[in-house]
Amino acid sequence: MANQRLTSAVRMPVTGLLAWLVPGLGHLYLGDRGRGIVCLITITATFWTGVALGGVRATVDPHNRKLWFIAQVCTAGNTLTGYALHRSIAAGESEGRKPAATAHWASVDVGVHYTGVAGLLNLLVIFDAFARAEPSSAKRREEREHPGGVP
């Protein structure tokens, strides 16, 4: 019994952290490959589609879009990569390099919304992975899928 508690005490936070770092990774860690791959592809594609629409310079911007950036941070790996690109473009412009092309204002707003929604969607995926890591929820799920104990 103590071993099971220790395992779930480690398993649940690890699952949550992995799900936050890379969308779907928490589900992959739990062995739910199909759900993990779908979450990875869907959330990552949504995030980077938003960046493509709005441009990384205006989309992933913690200074001018604080609340949206907080939503974007829920996809940690994607946001950190986008923010690194944002910073490198800004650094290049401050060194006198040719400024990056800016997107039309409407496409920037659409891009910010895409990236924010991707972050909030990943928040739901994190909660789902975290709940699935709990031993009692796995047992209930197994009982629903295989009533009477017959697989």
Residues 18-72 pLDDT 10s: 999 999 999 999 999 999 999 999 999 999 999 999 988 889 989 989 999 999 9
Q: pTM score, two decimals?
A: 0.80
Do the domain assignments include residue 142?
no
Element containing residue 63 per DSSP (H, E): none
Mean predicted confidence (pLDDT) in 124-148: 75
Are residues 59 and 116 in contact, defined by beta-carbon separation less than 8 angstroms? no
Is a pLDDT exceeding 50 seen at residue 1? no
In a domain, 87, yes or no: yes
Specify if 150 maps to a domain. no
CA distances from 88 to 5, 58, 95, 128 (A): 45, 13, 11, 35
Give the span between the Cα atoms of 16 and 132, in whole angstroms: 10
Rounded to 5 degrees, what angle do the CA atoms 27, 29, 33 make?
A: 55
145 band by pLDDT with thresholds 50, 70 and 90: low
> Does residue 149 lie within any of the structural domains?
no
> Is 52 inside a domain boundary?
yes
Residue 151 belongs to some domain of the structure:
no
Evaluate if residue 3 carries a pLDDT over 50. no
Neighbouring residues of 84: CB distance < 8 A, sequence distance ≥ 6 = none
Domain total in the chain:
1
Output the pLDDT for position 113: 95
- Domain assignment present for 141: no
How is residue 69 written in tokens? 């950036």
pLDDT of residue 134: 83
Instruction: Identify residue 11 by its one-letter amino acid code.
Output: R
Q: Are 99 and 74 in contact (CB under 8 A)?
A: no
Average pLDDT over residues 72-89: 93
SS3 content of the chain, % helix, strand, coil (to 5): 80, 0, 20
32: exposed, middle or buried (C-beta count within 10 Å: 0-12, 13-18, 19+)? Answer: middle
Residue 121 CA to chain centroid, in angstroms? 7
Residue 89 confidence (pLDDT): 84
Full residue range of the structural domain in which residue 107 is found: 2-135
pLDDT band at residue 76 using 50, 70 and 90 as cut-offs: very high
Q: Quote the pLDDT of residue 2.
A: 45
pLDDT the model gives residue 31: 93
Cα–Cα distance for residue pair 151/146, rounded to 1 Å: 5
Per-residue pLDDT of 84-93, as tens digits, reads 998 888 787 6
Residue 54 lies in a domain: yes
* Residue 7's pLDDT band (cuts 50, 70, 90): confident
